[in-house]
Amino acid sequence: MDGHEREFVSEVFDSNWIAPLGPMVDGFEAALAAYTGVKHAATMSSGTAAIHLALILLGVKPGDYVICQSFTFSATANPIRYLGATPVFVDSEAETWNMCPIALEKAIRACKNGEIAQDHLQNSKPTPKTGQHQTTDRSSPVSTNLKPKAILPVHLYGMPAKMDQINAIAAKHDIPVIEDAAEALGSHINGKPCGSFGDLGILSFNGNKIITTSGGGALLANDEEKIKKARFLATQARDPAPHYQHSEIGYNYRMSNILAGVGRGQMQVLPERIQQRRANFDFYNDLLKDVPGLSFLPEPEGYFSNRWLTTILVDPAKTGGITRETIRLALEADNIESRPLWKPMHQQPVFASYPFFSTGVSNKLFEQGLCLPSGSSLTPADHERISTVLKNVLKM
């Protein structure tokens, strides 16, 4: 927190607008729309809730295919299963670590040609144990709708995905795009902000993100009808009537007016947070760029990453046997936390049976990748401590 958040939160208390809507929510939504250049924003209780509603708005039903980046956090994929739809995972390409347009095209064709339905259903059928009572079959029903209902690319670690290519493929096949920009607020491609490329964009303000409201998210769209519908569904789908009447299943997904106050304060420090995160990247890059076997993710021409987390790849064939675990454990021994990169969804026990279109990239990233300490609040003294451990373990 920076300090301005308190002023906005005090304003909420003074006005006694303590509710999951109110003037502070309106103000935060206006600030998000202005920042991302998208016409409308609806704040939500989480980024996950925003993805869930985005899928509902696109009419995703049980058995439908939704194409999803495999290399991501599980929150991207879980809402596909909330709806009983089938995630079709697509691997990454090496330049941005995000959805590979070539693998995407293959996945769409395979769905449309009915090439993957049978495989997947065989894999996902639960095998009943002997003597076990046969209850409901939880596997996805056979889809009658072969064309995928949505494409879900992610800007992982703040690096923009290849949105021009992905959008071109989506347009060719007439499939809407939901852009998971949870980690990429402030990132852009040639000045066009992440969150503004898809038919629907989603943001997260969870505690670990570049700005936070402790928990929260937002749905972005130029289509006003979609945002109106999202607000309706997020407030229990109340029909316009003096009594409580419901013709649709609703959700309680709106953001609290108090938290929106925190969000408005955080918007003021977003440029500074991006600068701090990018300074972390520069620190590690300067320190480690000449170490054989270590590599960073450079920004492709025209791409700007908020560098939410600084990540490195460690190739033991070139480091003399030092692996990312050697480095992680050396940091841990000095009570410094670092983590492997996201484990791709196709490797997760809960998603392993779903279709996957591989390039080999995300397997390698998970094997060799490490997220280095990347908080906005890292001090020069912290950098010094981390640098000592890294120099030691890498024998620099």
Ligand X SMILES: *Cc1c(COP(=O)(O)O)cnc(C)c1O
Half-sphere exposure in the Cβ direction for 340 (13 Å, CA): 15
Q: Cβ-closest residue to ligand X? A: 47
Separation CA 106–CA 254 (nearest Å):
37
Is there binding between residue 72 and ligand X (CB under 6 A)?
yes
Task: Name the segment binding ligand X (CB under 6 A); options: 24-32, 70-78, 187-195, 281-289.
Answer: 70-78
Is there binding between residue 92 and ligand X (CB under 6 A)?
no
Beta carbon of residue 45, minimum distance to ligand X (angstroms, whole number): 8
Is there binding between residue 311 and ligand X (CB under 6 A)?
no
Residue number with CB closer to ligand X (81 or 112): 81
Beta carbon of residue 274, minimum distance to ligand X (angstroms, whole number): 16
Asked whether 189 and 302 are in contact (CB, 8 A), the reply is yes
Element (H, E) at 382: helix 380-393
Beta carbon of residue 166, minimum distance to ligand X (angstroms, whole number): 16
Beta carbon of residue 112, minimum distance to ligand X (angstroms, whole number): 27
**Tokens found for residue 149:** 């209902």
Beta carbon of residue 46, minimum distance to ligand X (angstroms, whole number): 3
Is there binding between residue 266 and ligand X (CB under 6 A)?
no
Is there binding between residue 280 and ligand X (CB under 6 A)?
no
Main-chain phi, psi angles of 178, to 5 degrees: -105, 120
End-to-end CA distance of the chain: 36
Binder of ligand X out of 22, 87, 193, 217 (CB under 6 A): 217
Binder of ligand X out of 12, 154, 258, 345 (CB under 6 A): 154
Beta carbon of residue 75, minimum distance to ligand X (angstroms, whole number): 3
Please provide the size of the chain in residues. 396
Asked whether 219 and 178 are in contact (CB, 8 A), the reply is no
Binder of ligand X out of 36, 43, 70, 76 (CB under 6 A): 76
Task: Name the segment binding ligand X (CB under 6 A); options: 20-28, 67-75, 226-234, 344-352.
Answer: 67-75
Is there binding between residue 96 and ligand X (CB under 6 A)?
no
Binder of ligand X out of 28, 71, 73, 281 (CB under 6 A): 73
How big is the site for ligand X, counted in residues (CB under 6 A)?
14
Task: Name the segment binding ligand X (CB under 6 A); options: 15-23, 45-53, 143-151, 353-361.
Answer: 45-53
Site for ligand X in 127-146 (CB under 6 A): none
Residue number with CB closer to ligand X (178 or 386): 178
Beta carbon of residue 68, minimum distance to ligand X (angstroms, whole number): 11
Is there binding between residue 179 and ligand X (CB under 6 A)?
no
Asked whether 312 and 376 are in contact (CB, 8 A), the reply is no
Separation CA 116–CA 369 (nearest Å):
30
DSSP-derived secondary structure for 140-177: PPPPS--S-SEEE-B-GGGPPP-HHHHHHHHHHHT--B
73 burial level (CB within 10 Å; 0-12, 13-18, 19+): buried
Asked whether 355 and 88 are in contact (CB, 8 A), the reply is yes
**Contacts of 386 by beta carbon, 8 Å cutoff, 6+ apart:** 331, 336, 372, 373
Per-position b or e across 173-187, b if 16+ CB within 10 A of its CB: bebbbbbbbbbbbbb
Binder of ligand X out of 9, 20, 25, 46 (CB under 6 A): 46
Asked whether 31 and 37 are in contact (CB, 8 A), the reply is no
Is there binding between residue 327 and ligand X (CB under 6 A)?
no
Is there binding between residue 75 and ligand X (CB under 6 A)?
yes
Is there binding between residue 212 and ligand X (CB under 6 A)?
no
Q: Which residues here bind ligand X, judged by CB under 6 A?
A: 46-48, 72-73, 75-76, 154, 180, 182-183, 204, 206, 217
